[in-house]
Amino acid sequence: MDKILRIDLCAEGGPKATVTDLGNYAGMGGRGMTSMVISQEVPADCHPLGPENKLVIAPGLMAGSAASTSGRISIGCKSPLTGGIKESNAGGQAGQVLARLGYAAIILEGQPQSDDLYTVFINKDGVKIKTANDLKGMLNYDLAEKVKAEYGDKVAMISVGPAGEMKMCAASIAITDREFRPTRHAGRGGVGAVMGVKRIKAIILDDSGCPTRQPKNSDKFKEANKLFVQGLKSHAVTGQGLPAFGTNVLTNIINEAGAYPTYNFKQGQFKDVAKISGETFAELEKTRGGNPTHGCHRGCAIQCSGIFVDKDGKYVTKQPEYETVWAHGGNCGINDPDAIARIDFMDDNIGVDTIEMGAAIGVAMDAGLVNFGDAEGAIRLLEEVGKGTPLGRILGNGTAATAKMFGIERAPVVKGQAMPAYDPRAVKGMGVTYATSPMGADHTAGYAVATNILKVGGDVNPLGIQGQIELSRNLQIATAALDATGYCLFIAFAILDQAETFNAMVESINGMYGLNMNGDDVVALGKKILSMERDFNKRAGFTAEDDRLPRFFKRESLAPHNVVFDIADKDLDAVFNW
């Protein structure tokens, strides 16, 4: 990956592609690349949907190689949802394919001067950009079928659905999986709206004739990768729980811990949780002829994805993720797996973040638009989003916008972004991450659940205040570095528990690039990325007051533990003191 593709959307005569070398961005990948480009090239005070914003698409440092579980891709911009810097992370095939094509990043710059819509096709011979007005308003699954008919199913695609074209702040960017289905999404922060305003409907990637990226030190790389895979396979979470039940294995666990946000964060447990658990979904899939064990991209050792089918064995959607099942399930009081799967498909097809939409619909239910538990009512609301009606545009612009329009104080957001599936009152390390991450409320930014609840990498009492600042700080640093590599976040379970697996991961990077990195270098990389992100947000106008949870979390106690979020503001302000 020795080049950057820049596409100038406002060039005279139409979009123009230019290939440059890495320059100052050498050594960066994934989130490191996206955050560095945004920090250095985007005016922090620009409008997120203005021409000064850029969209950066970057595979991780290990993508395109034989490194196991390394195909994650980062998409960055100034977020329309938060107003700050954003990196949204996805699986699927695009990261691997883009890396094999030799690109460390695609940077979309400016905006077209016309209303034309475009597609970009990239293969070993170069880049072709063409008008594609016949694709306007097309749903992601329909788009995939049309692209497959023209290019075959061995390519990868990055696309936006109608929500992105309508510039909704909850709009996602879809990435196709191994079966060329648009099931993997860079969902958070409204990155789809930025791609939409730049009038790029789809980027098609074809790595035919491009070999797997080769390591500088083959022997070191192969040995490290072998040990790394062994570590993933031997760990209870990455080797057993996730492959068997997917990420939704967490539903019963988090509910039992009293941290499962229910009815728009009113309760910590959902009475019908067993009906929507990972175990229930997996059993349904197996009974009907689906599959609870599936990799979202080739070369994944964990296989936490899955295929959900209906009662007749017909494909419905990928196995819904834990956060999706919570957002549209317990959060909305919905207990029907088939309804949740249908909503998941609709989210992917329209191109919206499942977390943001589930939280927005939960707020709409709190406002009385439909009742909690009304699955068909939730589906009708989502149909409004797809149509772009006035109500649909309110919901499609996210949880904070929905709460404001309907006069609801209980808006579970930080920096304008909806909280995921862990109540910060009962998992306080998660609350610290929500409050202080430069990305807004984001579970992946510093996944304290690992240690608070699952006791991976140590044991910090989820209900106490001791140790939560340090836990979140260390996890945010480690995650920022991990997001730069392209390795899946879920490897964290194994590398936190197994020193030899962490060392194998580091040695795989060393073998790939001919380096001599150690753990301290990983920490330094994470700190560098976070510092760039916080600096951008500061220039965008963020202050310490933005690193806070909504006040109702301090005021309203959460059953069954009857706890509030009681970590002091001064302690939150110390997270990034290193």
Q: Cα–Cα–Cα angle for 236, 252, 483, nearest 5°?
A: 55
Residue 455 confidence (pLDDT): 95
DSSP 144-213: HHHHHHHH-SSSEEEE--HHHHTT-TTB-EEE--TTS---EEE-GGGHHHHHHHTTEEEEEE--TTPPPP
The string of pLDDT tens digits covering residues 316-356 is 999 999 999 999 999 999 999 999 999 999 999 999 999 99
Give the pTM.
Answer: 0.96
Give the model's pLDDT for residue 133: 97
CATH 1.10.599.10 at 215-245+424-578, yes or no: yes
Q: Is the pLDDT of residue 245 over 90?
A: no
Which among 318, 322, 314 has a CA at the least distance from the CA of 347? Answer: 318
CA atoms of 225 and 447, how far apart (whole Å): 24
Residues of the chain with pLDDT > 90, as a percent, come to 92
Question: How high is the pLDDT of residue 489?
Answer: 85
Residue 244 has pLDDT above 90, yes or no: no
Domain with CATH 1.10.569.10 in the chain: 253-422
Residue 396 in contact with residue 169, Cβ under 8 Å? Answer: yes
Q: Is the pLDDT of residue 507 over 90?
A: yes
Q: Is the separation of the CB atoms in 248 and 273 below 8 Å?
A: no
Tell me the CATH class for 253-422.
Answer: mainly alpha
> Please, which pLDDT band fits residue 490 given cuts at 50, 70 and 90?
confident
Residue 539, both tokens: 């220039």
Q: What are the beta bridge partners of residue 73? A: 59, 90
Three-state DSSP class for residue 323:
helix
What is the mean predicted confidence (pLDDT) over 195-224? 96
For 144, residues 6+ apart whose C-beta sits below 8 A from its C-beta are: 157, 159, 176, 180, 181, 182
Q: What is the four-CA torsion angle of 298, 101, 27, 537, rounded to 10 degrees?
A: -80
pLDDT digits (tens, 9 = 90+) for 163-191: 999 999 999 999 999 999 999 999 999 99
Residue 122 CB partners (closer than 8 Å, separation 6+): 5, 98, 101, 103, 128, 203, 204, 205, 206
- The domain at 3-205 falls in which architecture? 4-Layer Sandwich (3.60)
Residue type present at position 123: N
pLDDT in tens, 405-457: 999 999 999 999 999 999 999 999 999 999 999 999 999 999 999 999 999 99
Give ranges for CATH 3.60.9.10 in the chain. Answer: 3-205
Q: Calculate what percentage of the chain has a pLDDT beyond 70.
A: 100
Torsion region of 101: left, alpha or beta (phi above 0 gives left; psi -120 to 50 gives alpha): alpha
CA end-to-end distance (rounded Å), the chain: 32
pLDDT at position 514 is 95
Q: What is the mean pLDDT of residues 465-490?
A: 95
Q: Where are the alpha helices (DSSP H) in 15-156?
A: 30-41, 94-100, 140-151
